[in-house]
């Protein structure tokens, strides 16, 4: 499964809010298959993670994680679902749904991370 694009729900996929960066990182590595690229403590603790050449950033910036997340466009949504389940992810995965944005239909599922961020993984439908 390849991630083709990442779009933040709000402002910035490189500044997604978490309460504790160090506690959040293992979920992204162990269950979603991201690699840690860098950590920083200035101006706040933060980390950059990458998968398929797409980067996201986690930051202890004081914002509400339950109001933020990303939409990940993937090349194969079923493969993504299977990959995450095979890595032990269980209760945080939703069932598949078809959602329409503009003229485009997407087959999607959602994951809510332990840090409260919500992620949608979707594949464009023909």
- Parallel, antiparallel, or unpaired: how do β-strands 69-74 and 118-124 relate? parallel
Question: Domain residues for 105?
Answer: 3-124
The predicted structure's pLDDT at residue 40:
96
9 in Cβ contact with 69 (< 8 Å): yes
Say which CATH number the domain at 64 has.
3.10.180.10
How far, in Å, CA of 68 to CA of 46, rounded?
16
The predicted structure's pLDDT at residue 4:
96
The predicted structure's pLDDT at residue 53:
96
The predicted structure's pLDDT at residue 89:
84
The predicted structure's pLDDT at residue 91:
57
Residue 62 dihedral angles phi and psi, to the nearest 5°: 85, -5
> Over its length of 126 residues, how does the chain's per-residue pLDDT go in tens digits?
999 999 999 989 999 999 999 999 999 999 999 999 999 999 999 999 999 999 999 999 999 999 999 999 999 999 999 999 899 887 556 789 999 988 999 999 999 999 999 999 999 997
The predicted structure's pLDDT at residue 95:
83
The predicted structure's pLDDT at residue 126:
78
Q: Give pTM, 2 decimals.
A: 0.92
Domain count within the chain? 1
The predicted structure's pLDDT at residue 92:
59
The predicted structure's pLDDT at residue 3:
96
Q: Which of 72, 12, 73, 74 is CA-nearest to residue 46?
A: 12
């Amino acid at each position: 499964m390849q991630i083709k694009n990442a779009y933040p729900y709000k402002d910035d996929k490189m500044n997604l809010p978490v309460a504790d960066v160090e506690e959040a990182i293992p979920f992204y590595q162990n269950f979603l298959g991201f690699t840690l690229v860098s950590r920083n403590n200035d101006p706040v603790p933060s980390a950059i993670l990458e998968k398929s050449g797409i980067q996201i950033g986690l930051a202890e910036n004081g914002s509400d994680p339950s109001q933020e997340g990303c939409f990940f466009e993937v090349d194969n949504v079923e493969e993504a679902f299977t990959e995450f389940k095979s890595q032990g992810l269980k209760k945080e995965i939703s069932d598949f749904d078809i959602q329409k944005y503009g003229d485009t239909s997407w087959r999607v599922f959602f994951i809510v991370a332990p840090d409260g961020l919500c992620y949608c993984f979707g594949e464009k439908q023909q």
